[in-house]
Structure 1
Amino acid sequence: MSSPGEWYNSLPPITKGYGTLCLLTTVICKLGVVQPVHIALFYERVFPRLEVWRLITNFFFLGPFSFNFGIRLLMIARYGVNLEKGPFDRRTADFLWMLIFGALSLLAFSLIPPLWTPFLGISLVFMLLYVWSREFPDLQVNLYGLVALKAFYLPWAMLALDVIFGSPLLPDLLGIVAGHLYYFLTVLRPLSTGQNLLKTPLWLHRLVARWGLGAQVYPGTRRASVAEGAASAGRAFSGRSYRLNR
């Protein structure tokens, strides 16, 4: 068995960076160095007062130390790693672009008053979970040792558990919507039209290469990743899909 340090060093760069920042943010808030209210998403402070860091820092707070916090961190460690090492293998820039697109989508949703929430970190984690469930829909998962189900249904099962535990549903739902929007634009729409409107920008490829983050296919190369779907044709969210990135 590897040591905790070896396990941590083996994590892919983007997932490791995001999970680490989420953990450090909670530690800093717990120690009282920064109060959560100072990093929350309050648009009335972002624009008039130019506190633009709130547009970013709100994604790194998953709540205080608690059972729910641990679950969200484990979701990053499992589903984020599986995505970055699986369908996004050698596509570090594409994986980072997925997170950036998700964050921008969630910020846009939160401009609508009924959809506003001060912290969007949980929503971004749920987006990861949703995309993972679409990439591995037929994988059997065990939910807390209570029930076995296909990965395709896992986001909805986690949503149902939040209903039972009395957690807010809005962050989960926003993450699912953002995840489906990304999956629609990068997989479903290209399958029907042959066009991908959400290609990773070239500047991001260059930035990832300059920083030496992971490995990636040259931006000009066409690469397909397979998402195993349900076998029945004509059913919503079913079938075998191929990600067309270039």
Structure 2
Amino acid sequence: MEVEQFVRSIPVITRTIIAASIVLSAAVTYEMVTPLNLIYSPTLVFQEKQYWRLLTSLLYFDKLSINCLFHLHFLYMVSRQLEEHYYLRDSIRYIWTLLRGAALVLLLASYLHIPFPSGPMVMVILYLWSRRYPDERMALYFAFVVGAPYLPLIMLFLSYNMSGGDIQYLQGELGAVVIGHCLWYVSDVLPKIIGFDPTALPTFVTAVFR
């Protein structure tokens, strides 16, 4: 019962993303599908019309493993806080932010030939969180407490080591930091300069989902 209550306490967007990631990891772990069925490939997506890869490649981190739990932990912590506070009663705007981030991450993956851009996607969300909650502190492995502004750099270092020193992976994570910064600047800084958000959803769209 306590587990059910905890799951229900997670906001719906974050809960859906986490659940989908766990399902995909379990499916690969128990050999129901292979990673090749989930990878992002522009050729397979746009020529073979295997559109599910746009989602699966962003949601699959690894088999059920430390690496998978590492990414899911960060994703859960930062996405939950963003959804519960920054995007409180404004879920459609959070979805819109995620869609923009995903589109840019997939473009990055196309350029760098990254089969699973899920790591960079988490980095984008983490970067947005660190900018919007600069005074927050997060415990790493329940031992080290790190300030939000430094967390993207630390995760970059940890992810790079967990990837075995993969330069392509590092490039993807660095590209994700740039994407996160651009999204933050356009959404949070630029509107204060020009008086409006050029990427905001039309008012009638947001009104429908409130």
For residue 203 of structure 1, report the CA deviation from its aligned partner. 7.6
1:169 match: secondary structure: helix
Residues 117-155 of structure 1 deviation map (CA, whole Å, 9 limit, x = unaligned): 001111111111111101111223333355433211110
Gaps of 5+ in 1: 210-215, 217-246
Counterpart residue type for residue 13 of structure 2: I
Counterparts of residues 47-58 of structure 1 (less than 5 Å): 47-58=46-57
**What is the percent sequence identity of the aligned residues?**
25
Instruction: Give the match for residue 199 of structure 2.
Output: 198
Find out whether 1:85 has 2:87 as its counterpart.
no
Instruction: Give the match for residue 120 of structure 2.
Output: 123
Gaps of 5+ in 2: none
Counterpart residue type for residue 82 of structure 2: L
Residues 178-216 of structure 1 deviation map (CA, whole Å, 9 limit, x = unaligned): 211210110111122222111135686477x3xxxxxx4
Which has the greater radius of gyration? Answer: 1
2:115 match: secondary structure: coil
Question: Paired residue for 2:141, among 132, 138, 144?
Answer: 144
1:149 match: secondary structure: strand
| Alpha carbons 2:126, 2:152 under 8 Å: kept | yes
Alignment partners' CA distance in 2, 1:25 and 1:94: 26
Instruction: Give the match for residue 23 of structure 1.
Output: 22
Normalising by structure 1, we get a TM-score of 0.77
Instruction: Give the match for residue 109 of structure 1.
Output: 108
Question: Paired residue for 1:134, among 127, 131, 136?
Answer: 131
Instruction: Give the match for residue 38 of structure 2.
Output: 39
Report which of the two has the higher share of helix. Answer: 2
RMSD of aligned alpha carbons: 2.0
Instruction: Give the match for residue 190 of structure 2.
Output: 189
Return closer, same or farther for 1:107/1:23 CA change in 2, 3 Å cut-off. Answer: same
